[in-house]
Amino acid sequence: MSRHKLIFLIIAILASGFIATSVVSYQVSRMSIHNAIVDSTLPLSSDNIYSEIQKDLIRPIFVSSMMASDTFLRDWMLDGEQNIDKISRYLQEVQDQYGAFISFLVSERTSNYYYGKGVLKQVRPNEERDAWYYRVRDMQVPYEINVDRDMAHADALTIFINYRVLDYDNQYLGAVGVGLTVDSVQKLISHYQDRFRRDVYFVDSSGLIRLSGSKHQVVGQNINQQPALAGIFQQVLNTAKDDIHGGSFQYEDAETKQLINIRYIPELQWYLFVGQDELEATSDIRQALQLNLLLCLVVTAIVVALTHVALRRYQDKLETMATTDTLTGLPNRRAFDVVIDVFLNENERARSTLAFILLDVDHFKSINDRLGHLGGDYVLTVVARIIKGNTRAADFICRWGGEEFLIVIKDCDEHNALLLAEKIRSAIENELIAYQGSQVAITASLGVGVARAGEKLEPVLERADKAMYAAKAAGRNQVQPGDSA
């Protein structure tokens, strides 16, 4: 397998592993958050809001109950409702003292609707806006909570506590109570939206949004006009109100998945919607996913870079080991096989000559016998150093095998090759090698072969080899030229 293929495989494995781990972790976290929102967070928020609403209504219920049992109010009604100013002052004081939006009294005998400024109107059975009064009159329970428009305050949406008033013989006298603006509920909505980043809104049984802190679900809209919500709301309406203690649903709008909890608020006769945008709820883990992927990219890049460097160095080392003689540090015969074609092609293009000098250390077996193999190895390293010291950097020197060395000189004729060979021979002869206290003198036999332009390698090497053996046969420690091509 090539280095590039291995690098690509490492990238693929690391990237696949990191991405798969990050995505699986994201999906598990997203599903965990989804389930927590549906099963716990939204129902808990809905319960908390409902509890706050009930808490805000306890005080006005108590005030209405106190008014319904007040002896002054009942005596005033039983005495014929004389002096309207008295009841007006009473109602105004209740309103001021307890912070009510309005306090009121409706008489069964006169049908008058009293408030802090006198008589507002008379209630009538055929008046749709007075239906609440006749409903209260026929109730079996002492009071109701009703959301309605307040005529005394320009039809402001108001939460009324309607309490039945009975005389001392438990006969029905009328209805009394206080009204609260929906501002307190609206503030509660805003508080929960700011704190929990959720959509909170109230919907009546017709689907009309009556109160809302949501930017998407505004007051006056009808959720029945939203196909995704309409089906859910219809499902809620078809369920008995007593069973609605917090149903969780989900739907998709144009942008993302929405999770909602819906419960019925019997005190208001409205439905409380608490919604959560799943995309917003999972924004933190999406950022974590992006960060993880970025880290994965960085880690992968670092690992690949380090692997590339390590493989490159390892490959270079292997190539060096494969083409370098470990003893002398010179290129070996394999390296010669790699570069010789380049030399021959250059020689042919330049129509020049290429000289080969084959060198063999004389009596090397006796050197090994005398100094041992380590000593013989040391002698070869000295010979390699001498050859390098007497040639150019552009010349190619390799260990040809055993005690033989090959020198290749570009753009060199036979005359100059013989001069160089003689120079090397003389340097070797004049080198006195010190080894383990002994002085060792050595000589070498050299043969020269010159390749003409376009000539094949084998005949030239054969001429150099024959020349070297001719030098040995002639007495060693000399240079012999090869026969001309």
H/E run at residue 483: none
Catalytic residue among 144, 403, 404, 462: 403
Tokens 């007075």 correspond to: 130
Distance separating alpha carbons of residues 144 and 156, to the nearest angstrom: 19
Distance separating alpha carbons of residues 340 and 149, to the nearest angstrom: 105
The total of other beta-carbon atoms located within 10 Å of residue 479's CB is: 24
Which residues have a Cβ under 8 Å from the Cβ of 413 and sit 6 or more positions away?
353, 355, 450
H/E run at residue 40: none
Distance separating alpha carbons of residues 212 and 219, to the nearest angstrom: 6
H/E run at residue 140: none
For residue 54, give the 3-state DSSP assignment.
helix
- Answer yes or no: 403 catalytic: yes
Distance separating alpha carbons of residues 244 and 264, to the nearest angstrom: 6
For residue 342, give the 3-state DSSP assignment.
helix
Distance separating alpha carbons of residues 175 and 165, to the nearest angstrom: 5
Distance separating alpha carbons of residues 292 and 288, to the nearest angstrom: 6
Phi, psi of 123 (to 5 degrees): -80, 145
Distance separating alpha carbons of residues 287 and 276, to the nearest angstrom: 18
Enzyme catalytic residues: 403
